[in-house]
Chain A
Amino acid sequence: MRIALFITCVNDTLFPDTGRHVVRLLERLGHEVVFPEGQTCCGQMHYNTGYRRPAAKLAVRFVRTFEDADAVVVPSGSCAAMIRDNYPRLGGSGSRLSRKVAGLAPRVYDLTELLVDVLGVTDVGAYYPHKVAYHPTCHGLRMLGLGDRPYRLLRAVRGLELVELAGATECCGFGGTFAVKNGDVSSAMGADKARHAVESGAEVLCAVDNSCLMHIGGTLSRQRSGLRVAHIAEILASTEKEGALR
């Protein structure tokens, strides 16, 4: 299958390895990945902070860039949720944007949805000999409804021991600009999430969203916990022959 990658602005700029892992994983599974050059950002930061007009402009750009794709993979639960749940609110009813979104949004998938629902695989042939805890990010959990898909994918990884994370469904406290506008509350939430992660006994905390991981990972790093964070794509892309990219 020919799959268009929407890398997201945060991944593109700060976490390019996530995109490389997605490419490596999908190519290994025999699919073609294309990267439409005109893409930039889904507009989530603008939308969530109350800047609707720039968010709408970015939505128009996204739709224009990806409207011909058979499937769009987004290695970020919150950006996928922005496109599927919030784009329909950005155009007025019957507007050109809402018509286009209605056509495109059902073909936009988080990585774990694409693998399980569209490509029909749970065992992607990965090897990752570490203790791993999974943090179900809020948008992945509640807006996309990823359910057990990430867990099924992780359980099928050879060598991986999946450990339970206490308070898993609680928000890590990132919330985009919330992390700076309400820094104290955000930090307190992040500290609790980090504590649960450490107490889980995991070596690696993974999620479907680098933004949440940047917040939790930054907290873990400041605490010198020794626990690292990884996007789920990194784990699924790793094999016995080719370990994780660094």
Chain B
Amino acid sequence: MSATFLGIPPFPEAARAAVDDSRLRHNLRKATHTIRDKRGAVVTELEEDWERLRSEGAAIKSHTLRHLDHYLEQLESSVERAGGHVHWAADAAEANAIVTRLVQATGETDVVKVKSMATQEIELNNALAEAGITAYETDLAELIVQLGDDLPSHILVPAIHLGRSQIREIFLDQMAEWGVAAPEGLTDDPRALAEAARVHLRERFLRTRTAISGANFAVADSGTLVVLESEGNGRMCLTLPETLISVVGIEKIVPTWADLEVFMQTLPRSSTGERMNPYTSTWTGVTPGDGPQEFHLVLLDNGRTDVLADTVGRQALRCIRCSACLNTCPVYERTGGHAYGSVYPGPIGAILTPQLRGMSSEVDEALPYASSLCGACYEVCPVAIDIPEVLVHLREEVAAGPGHLGEKAMMKGAEAVLGSSHALNAAQHAAGAARNLVPRHLPGMAGAWTDTRDLPDVPAESFRQWWNKHEKGQS
């Protein structure tokens, strides 16, 4: 059974532990800054083309989402025309049941997987395990997370929170239990680690006859699915097995093959800081004698239709999972992905997760506040999702709910004071008179300020008090 995000405390509490973990902070800072700098360089070299690509990407996605019913039906018929089978899953339980049934029909008990956020979202591996089926992750970072009985903490680099010495320990401790053991005397040299993973996985690829994948894009008019990756492990999964089952969120559609042109430029640059990614695999149904002979596409809703109904929040569905917003986010950099309590961390997770799950738990209510609204995420998003706008929109939903009584009282008080200039003036007089009584450490929520920061001195007179004298020529 794989680890699960259930039980992770709300963001502020989970973040506290992360902020205190100096090794984690070091790993994250190094990794996010490296990718951030690489992205900056390859985006800058496109100059004004970048803004054009960005708005075209946003327009293609928005158009597709507006006519999603049409494109979904088109995709279904083109996949079936090409010899594939399409299944519709309203939620995680349905999707897991469909995939389990499909795997059982092959008679296999082992499956290989190419990294897929959608199957992480529905916790497919756990559902398969309950049916006696073992899923083997083949993406290097995902393999590390699986061997370490850990949780992914990044969309693209799920093991970003781990350093190479930690990875070495995981390989030495765990690889033998899952297949080919790590070589004795394994060092923490990245090449040695990659070679150990390669040997471990090669045997798995050659033996396993069923594969499960996600997809970066699904082309409606041709029925083609597309996966972009860096290692080639995905291509092994997509070509060697006899049966391929792809679990894809319904928002992954683009209308035509030509639309990929935009995303093939923006996605690699945004995610890994590369002009193009090393492996792009596309497949359309089945081809006799070449690749998997049976292909199933499971189209996953799992809350997406609800998100689509929200006129402000729906822009989150434009996301192409590049993770540029994570790599640039100063909050993510200090907390890592686990603190978000969901498979989608960082700024996009903070708006996508509470919308997909519905804001019914403390964890989901805290997510829209896991941002200083600095706007760096919006600036780098290749499909121009205005993440700060959606964060504020979701905060309105939280604030309209029953909780946060202390905060509501405070806001009410502020509203009264700021409701008239006379009330504000009176409050300022009172504050000025009591200025020497302000304690150095404040109680309650405000204590979060005085724990690490000094308070400013309250001035003897406010600006408006000074102005009145200035106007009368007394200053």
Contact = CB atoms under 8 A, between A and B. Distances in A.
Contacts of B448: 179-181, 183-184, 186
B418 A49 contact: no
Interface residues of B, number: 64
A176 B407 CA distance: 13
Contacts of B470: 20, 23
A14 to B, nearest CB: 5
A39 to B, nearest CB: 6
A142 B375 contact: yes
A143 B415 CA distance: 25
B411 A222 contact: no
Interface in A206-246: 214-215, 217-219, 221-222
Contact of A19 (B400, B419, B463): B463
B418 A142 contact: no
B339 to A, nearest CB: 9
B30 interface: no
A184 B372 contact: no
A180 B421 contact: no
Contacts of B459: 14-17
Main secondary structure of the interface of B (DSSP, over half): helix
Interface in B1-38: 11-12, 15-16, 19-20, 25
Contacts of A49: 395, 399, 407, 411
A50 B452 contact: no
B373 A175 contact: yes
A222 B419 contact: no
Interface residues of A, number: 65
A52 B371 CA distance: 18
Given A49-B395, A54-B411, A182-B15, A40 B418 contact: yes
Contact of B452 (A38, A39, A142, A219): A219
Contacts of B16: 184
Given A13-B431, A171-B376, A185-B331, 13 more contacts: A7-B464, A12-B464, A14-B456, A16-B462, A23-B470, A50-B399, A170-B330, A179-B449, A180-B448, A182-B11, A182-B331, A184-B12, A190-B453
Interface of B: 11-12, 15-16, 19-20, 25, 330-331, 334-335, 368-376, 378-379, 389, 392, 394-400, 407, 411, 414-415, 418-421, 424, 427-428, 431, 445-446, 448-449, 451-456, 458-459, 461-467, 470-471
30 contacts: A13-B431, A16-B459, A20-B466, A20-B470, A35-B464, A45-B411, A45-B414, A46-B414, A46-B415, A48-B373, A48-B392, A49-B399, A49-B411, A50-B397, A50-B399, A51-B399, A51-B411, A51-B415, A54-B415, A57-B415, A138-B372, A139-B375, A142-B379, A169-B376, A173-B330, A181-B12, A182-B369, A185-B335, A189-B331, A218-B454
